[in-house]
Chain A
Amino acid sequence: MDFAAINPLIFFSTMVAASIPVLLAALGELVVEKSGVLNLGVEGMMIIGAVCGFIAIYHTGSPLFGVLASIIAGGLLALIFGILTQVLHSNQVATGLALTLFGLGLSALLGQPYAGIKPPTFPKPDFGLLGDLPVLGQLFFKYDYLVYVAFILVVGVSYFLNRTRGGLILRSIGENHDAAHALGYHVVRVRLAAIMFGGGCAGLGGGYLAMIRVPQWTEGMTAGVGWIALALVVFASWRPYRVILGAFLFGGVTLLQLNLQAVGIKVNPAYLSMAPYLITIVALVVISGSSNRLSTQAPGSLGRLFHKTM
């Protein structure tokens, strides 16, 4: 076994890229949960985003269209969830599960003719001299566009939730929808918007996976990343910046596991592949079990039914 074979610089930059899908999906779900809705369909929205993005970039050759297709596909699937849970008052847990099953099935159908094809390469921004800096260039200036978009999005979401009036309304609806309704806020409208934002983010996360990270379409390629995103929201105790931390942890473990397999560590690869899921469980235990304020950060109305009374 040769740990020296793992270059820390390359490891870091690959880890950042590996964490983007789960980061985007978790960030979207965070906003959804802040508005008081629990959407368990992240996995379904991700994979639909993945297949639609792939198909779009393959046919048009345009990364922009690929990105847009991912976002729209995820958002539309989320809209189904939104209408069912917000307008037709269906059970959020069951509807989210249906979304995941439907997404996995539909994506396999749509993607059937595209298996094993390589998409056009996704462009990277050119930072000129900055990219040539010895260490910093490798650490910060070698990514594709979506990596920067993802981090800007984290900053934006954090700013929106904590510093704007709209964010305040969204959080108040998540904390107590009856009180927010009494104040005259449109609970259902705001939640629908949040759900669609979450779907768009999840779709983009899936699209990143299929267009850039892998890059290829394989049936069921999200392999539970959507569920890990849900766990990350709890891990981040509903704070945007902590999502980055969680996503790096997850991306790092996934990558480390692959690296360890590559350098020929004498552990069954199946056990190493379990690591990301086990770490997620451990992280959930640590966060949920801590008796300080962290564990009580969940929005007050999370997952509860809102029925407007006249």
Chain B
Amino acid sequence: MLVFERRREPSRFWTAITPVLAVLVTLIAGGIMFAILGKNPVEAIKTIFWAPIFDPNLSAYARPQILVKAAPLVLIAIGLSIGFKANIWNIGAEGQYIMGAILGGGVALAFYPLEAWWIFPLMIVSGIVGGIAWAMIPALLKIKFRTNEILVSLMLVYVSEHFLASVSLGLLRNPDGIGFPGSRNLQHYTSASNGELFVGTGIHLGVIVALVSIFALYGLIRFHRLGFQVRVTGQSVRISRFAGVNPNLMVIFCLAASGGLAGLAGIFELSGPAGQLSIDFNVGYGFTAIIVAFLGRLNPFGIALAALLMSLTYIGGDLAQFMLNLPSAAIQALQGMLLFFLLSMDFLSQYRITIKHWARG
């Protein structure tokens, strides 16, 4: 019979190869899903995964866009991965992303139409502060009242979405907008605009910062004491105490890091590609980043690759919506599927499957 033996250490080979396998199986299963729904599976998969990179008519626009959409995913996932390593589950990055954008955007708009060099940095810092402040709610409640951070951070996503709706229709609404909802467009406000760095690519400062964050996380986990403490906390809170870790401070650190980075992603997105606060400003980066963190094995370079892949599905998804009339949520189904397959294949790296014969006699 088949026997599952737990490996002493996760197999390195399987750990590296399973994300690739999971992607392949997702392509097949996704194709089947599209076929069942009456869409041409080959066409759909090709439009989503192939066209944005290789189609000669689309790639010039789509390739840099992949980097632009990957940037917020990387920033958020890098932050989340720190907490996930320590078994601290911030599921509400979407809310912290929104609040970062609202506070950062609000601060910038408060100075409109003043032009000054310090507005941009102040706006970015406010974005980070907004994300951290929002993440401190689940952190402090967890420390003080032992509430579950998953539920609290998630409830706050809905609260922040309603808050976003209220400010984009009220407090921060563009006074010159002749009744249209949404704030002023920051792209038209030179001091606060996070414009493109290379003409025609859409690549903005956030992409560069995301790149830096990858190496920063690598350095933190690999070389800094905090990285060690995070990993020990993830193994066992009790043991971490012996290693001199203050579990409460660890909760604060992990939520602050993930909240701050999510807020940063939010303000970069607002001042760059999005431009203005509106009801549909958030598009689910905070949730997709959770998949990115897992798909990347909580490893900074893995996260970068995973973010590129997810970003590709966003752009391909837009194309498929436009060309094949696939609902945008199809991409979410694919992303969920991918996470399923990845998680189930993790089994291969954790366990050795052997065939054993029962001894007779």
- Residue of A93, A101, A295 ringed by the most chain B CB atoms within 10 A: A101
Closest approach, in angstroms, between the C-beta of A79 and any C-beta of chain B? 12
Give B343's nearest chain A residue, CB to CB: A90
Report chain A residues within 8 Å CB of B294. Answer: 94
Residue A27 at the chain B interface, CB threshold 8 Å: no
Number of chain B residues whose Cβ lies closer than 8 Å to a Cβ of chain A: 50
> Which of A93, A105, A273, A288 is within 8 Å of B331, CB to CB?
A105
Report chain A residues within 8 Å CB of B331. Answer: 105
> Which of B141, B329, B333 is within 8 Å of A281, CB to CB?
B141
Residue A88 at the chain B interface, CB threshold 8 Å: yes
Known contacts A97-B339, A105-B333, A105-B336, A281 near B156 by CB under 8 Å = yes
Report chain B residues within 8 Å CB of A307. Answer: 6
- In the complex, the answer to whether A94 meets B339 with C-beta atoms within 8 Å is yes
- In the complex, the answer to whether B351 meets A40 with C-beta atoms within 8 Å is no
For window 253-310 of A, CB contacts with B under 8 Å fall at: 268, 270-271, 273-274, 277-278, 280-281, 284-285, 288-289, 295, 307
Q: Which of A106-114, A116-124, A132-140 forms contacts with chain B?
A: A106-114
For window 334-361 of B, CB contacts with A under 8 Å fall at: 334-337, 339-340, 343-344, 346-347, 350-351
Give A280's nearest chain B residue, CB to CB: B155
Residue A62 at the chain B interface, CB threshold 8 Å: no
Residue B170 at the chain A interface, CB threshold 8 Å: yes
Give B37's nearest chain A residue, CB to CB: A109
> Which of B91, B145, B327, B330 is within 8 Å of A285, CB to CB?
B145
Closest approach, in angstroms, between the C-beta of A142 and any C-beta of chain B? 31
Closest approach, in angstroms, between the C-beta of B292 and any C-beta of chain A? 12
Residue A102 at the chain B interface, CB threshold 8 Å: yes
- In the complex, the answer to whether B344 meets A84 with C-beta atoms within 8 Å is yes
- In the complex, the answer to whether A227 meets B329 with C-beta atoms within 8 Å is no
In angstroms, Cα B92 to Cα A281, docked, is 13
Give B331's nearest chain A residue, CB to CB: A105
Residue A219 at the chain B interface, CB threshold 8 Å: yes
In angstroms, Cα B340 to Cα A104, docked, is 14
Give A289's nearest chain B residue, CB to CB: B145
Give A223's nearest chain B residue, CB to CB: B158
Report chain A residues within 8 Å CB of B351. Answer: 89
- In the complex, the answer to whether A227 meets B154 with C-beta atoms within 8 Å is yes
Closest approach, in angstroms, between the C-beta of B242 and any C-beta of chain A? 21
Residue A224 at the chain B interface, CB threshold 8 Å: yes
- In the complex, the answer to whether A108 meets B329 with C-beta atoms within 8 Å is yes
Report chain A residues within 8 Å CB of B165. Answer: 270
Report chain A residues within 8 Å CB of B169. Answer: 270
In angstroms, Cα B165 to Cα A307, docked, is 47
Residue A170 at the chain B interface, CB threshold 8 Å: no
Report chain B residues within 8 Å CB of A20. Answer: none
Report chain B residues within 8 Å CB of A103. Answer: 336
> Which of A98, A224, A274, A280 is within 8 Å of B340, CB to CB?
A98
Residue A76 at the chain B interface, CB threshold 8 Å: no
Residue A80 at the chain B interface, CB threshold 8 Å: yes
In angstroms, Cα B194 to Cα A214, docked, is 42
In angstroms, Cα B5 to Cα A307, docked, is 10
Report chain B residues within 8 Å CB of A285. Answer: 141, 145, 147
> Which of A90, A101, A230 is within 8 Å of B347, CB to CB?
A90
Give B279's nearest chain A residue, CB to CB: A270
Known contacts A268-B170, A284-B151, A289-B144, A104 near B332 by CB under 8 Å = yes
Residue B150 at the chain A interface, CB threshold 8 Å: yes
For window 94-116 of B, CB contacts with A under 8 Å fall at: none
In angstroms, Cα B128 to Cα A301, docked, is 37
- In the complex, the answer to whether B162 meets A102 with C-beta atoms within 8 Å is no
- In the complex, the answer to whether B343 meets A224 with C-beta atoms within 8 Å is no
Residue B89 at the chain A interface, CB threshold 8 Å: yes
- In the complex, the answer to whether A40 meets B337 with C-beta atoms within 8 Å is no
- In the complex, the answer to whether A110 meets B148 with C-beta atoms within 8 Å is no
In angstroms, Cα B344 to Cα A277, docked, is 33
Residue A91 at the chain B interface, CB threshold 8 Å: yes
> Which of B155, B326, B330 is within 8 Å of A231, CB to CB?
B155
Give B34's nearest chain A residue, CB to CB: A109
- In the complex, the answer to whether A227 meets B291 with C-beta atoms within 8 Å is no
Given contacts A94-B343, A105-B335, A289-B145, 5 further A-B contacts (CB under 8 A): A105-B332, A108-B332, A224-B155, A230-B151, A280-B151
12 residue pairs from A and B, CB less than 8 Å apart: A44-B336, A90-B346, A94-B290, A99-B336, A99-B340, A104-B332, A105-B332, A109-B329, A227-B151, A234-B148, A268-B166, A274-B159
User: What are the 4 tightest A-B residue pairs by CB atom distance, in nearest-first order?
Assistant: A102-B336, A105-B333, A108-B329, A105-B332
